[in-house]
């Protein structure tokens, strides 16, 4: 089975993430969307909200699983028997950052990283931009799936 892990904080899930997931799921038998838990990070959305946003967005996709994890991504990949990590790239800066991580992960384990370019109409969207829009009372709805709701 070709199982891939798509790790991230998803704070919140954006249309860029959604794009990568929808396209990535066609490449693998199973795609595990894994929300990393970092106690040092201050999130806008609770872990439960982030899990719910993703589960609702992909409720009709049986090949997608949603989970959380702590620790190193490569260790979690071993635990769930994932042989691929899926990552999205928006721009050259993303590539340089992700390339270093992919090389490190490959050095630590036999995991392969698969990169997909975010569709051009969504490449400007990031979770940090969405959070800024929300904090400042802007209309965030064109940046996230409809399952992302601010209370």
How many Å apart are CA 3 and CA 145, to the nearest integer?
A: 24
How many Å apart are CA 73 and CA 111, to the nearest integer?
A: 10
Check if 41 is active-site.
yes
Check if 135 is active-site.
no
Asked whether 85 and 72 are in contact (CB, 8 A), the reply is no
Of the residues 46, 65, 90, 120, only one is catalytic, namely 90
Check if 52 is active-site.
no
Of the residues 41, 107, 120, 151, only one is catalytic, namely 41
The closest of 59, 84, 55, 79 to 69, measured between CA atoms, is: 79
Question: Residues comprising the binding site for ATP?
Answer: 9-10, 17, 88-90, 98, 122-128
Check if 109 is active-site.
no
Cα four-point dihedral sign 99, 49, 121, 140: negative
Question: Residues comprising the binding site?
Answer: 9-10, 17, 41, 73, 87-90, 98, 122-128
Catalytic residue numbers read: 17, 41, 90, 127
């Amino acid at each position: 089975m070709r199982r891939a892990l798509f790790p991230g904080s998803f704070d919140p899930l954006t249309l860029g993430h959604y794009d990568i997931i929808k396209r990535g799921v066609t490449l693998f038998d199973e795609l595990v969307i894994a929300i990393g838990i970092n106690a040092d990070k201050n999130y806008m959305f609770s872990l439960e909200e982030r899990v719910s946003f993703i589960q609702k967005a992909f409720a009709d996709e049986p090949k997608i699983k949603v989970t959380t994890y702590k620790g190193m991504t490569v260790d979690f990949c071993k635990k769930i028997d994932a042989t691929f990590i899926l990552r999205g790239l928006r721009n050259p800066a993303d590539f340089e950052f992700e390339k270093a991580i992919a090389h490190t992960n490959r050095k630590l384990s036999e995991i392969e990283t698969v990169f997909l370019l975010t569709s051009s109409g969504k490449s400007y969207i990031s979770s940090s931009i969405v959070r800024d829009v929300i904090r400042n009372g802007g209309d965030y709805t064109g940046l996230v799936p409809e399952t992302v709701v601010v209370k």
